[in-house]
Amino acid sequence: MTPLIHLTGITKTLKGQGEPRSILSGVDLTLHAGRSVAILGRSGSGKSTLLSVLGLFDRADGGRYLLGDKDITRLPEQRAAALRSAEFGFVFQRFFLLKHLTAAQNVAMAFVNGQGWLPRGKRRARVMAALDLVGIAHLAEHRPPRLSGGEQQRVAIARALVREPRVLLADEPTGALDTETGALVVDVLRDATSRGCGLVLVTHDRDHARKMDDVLELREGRFA
Ligand SMILES: Nc1ncnc2c1ncn2[C@@H]1O[C@H](COP(=O)(O)OP(=O)(O)OP(=O)(O)O)[C@@H](O)[C@H]1O
């Protein structure tokens, strides 16, 4: 079966004012639909950089990036942006919710971008289905200040899932949560793969990593 994502020999060097610094030095990664992979590594090992390359926020200097059967290694920025919003969902440590909007309205923000346009009724149904998927449909009309950290992160996950992305990228999604709440949020992310989307989870927590199908550790710019 063609993998969802296939990276080979990805390199990234930062060229600032000083000496160029190699951050990624030959990363290979394969992710299949409905599967999850955890990326571990000490602080500064390049986990977020790799996630930025995966999510088309940043470009590799070398290597090859296949998304399904499409070679997207050198996609022009405009097409990369379109692909990013159509195919990827993002979850971060911070929830980035708008305080004055309800949970449902926050999730619906994912449709604001023109490419995601749907008639109002269908949009509402998709929003409620996404909130249901993460277990908080009953909180749809609550605003973030009335929600716990774990509930807010679930809203953010619903927002990432509502457009049914092929790939979910999560960068330390439990970083702002206590251990128990964090574990529940990781379960929600993993369960999202049962619908066929692939999940890449960047984490410091080995217990969370173990819940994924594969665990990879970044060391000196590549997987050990
Ligand atoms: N825009 C940038 N300019 C300069 N250095 C950068 C930039 N982005 C990342 N770096 C450096 O690249 C290295 C890798 O950073 P990255 O954020 O990918 O690591 P990380 O493994 O995600 O770390 P953490 O676990 O602390 O979030 C770090 O040494 C960081 O300081």
> Which residue is closest in CA terms to ligand 1's atom 26?
43
Q: Measured from the CA of 202, which atom of ligand 1 is nearest?
A: 22
What's the pLDDT score for residue 200? 98
Region 76-96: what's the mean pLDDT? 93
Indicate the pTM of the whole model. 0.94
Give the tokens for residue 47: 């986990």
Q: Is the pLDDT of residue 18 over 90?
A: no
Say yes or no to pLDDT of 6 above 80. yes
Per-residue CA distances from 186 to 81, 177, 182, 207 (Å): 27, 11, 6, 10
Q: Which atom of ligand 1 is nearest to the CA of 52?
A: 18
* Predicted local confidence at residue 119, as pLDDT: 82
Domains and CATH numbers, the chain: 34-56+82-223 (3.40.50.300)
pLDDT tens for each residue of 168-190: 999 999 999 999 999 999 999 99
What single letter denotes the amino acid at residue 177?
L
**Ligand 1 centroid to residue 23 C-alpha, Å:** 8
83 in Cβ contact with 113 (< 8 Å): no
The mean pLDDT of 184-212, rounded to a whole number, is 95
Edge to edge, the sheet with strand 62-67 lists 21-31, 5-14, 62-67, 70-71
Q: How far apart are CA 75 and CA 62, in angstroms?
A: 13
pLDDT category at 112 given cuts 50, 70, 90 is confident
Distance CA 145, CA 77 (A): 36
Over residues 41-47, the mean pLDDT reads: 93
Instruction: Decide if pLDDT at 115 tops 80.
Output: no
- For ligand 1, whether the C-beta of 43 sits within 6 Å is yes
Nearest to 172 by CA among 181, 162, 182, 164: 182
The residue-averaged pLDDT of 71-93 equals 93
Q: What is the pLDDT of residues 126-176, one digit of tens each?
A: 999 999 999 999 999 999 999 999 999 999 999 999 999 999 999 999 999
Strand residue runs (E) in 130-213: 167-171, 198-202
Q: Which of 11, 22, 23 to mutate to test the pocket of ligand 1 (most atoms within 8 A of CB)?
A: 23
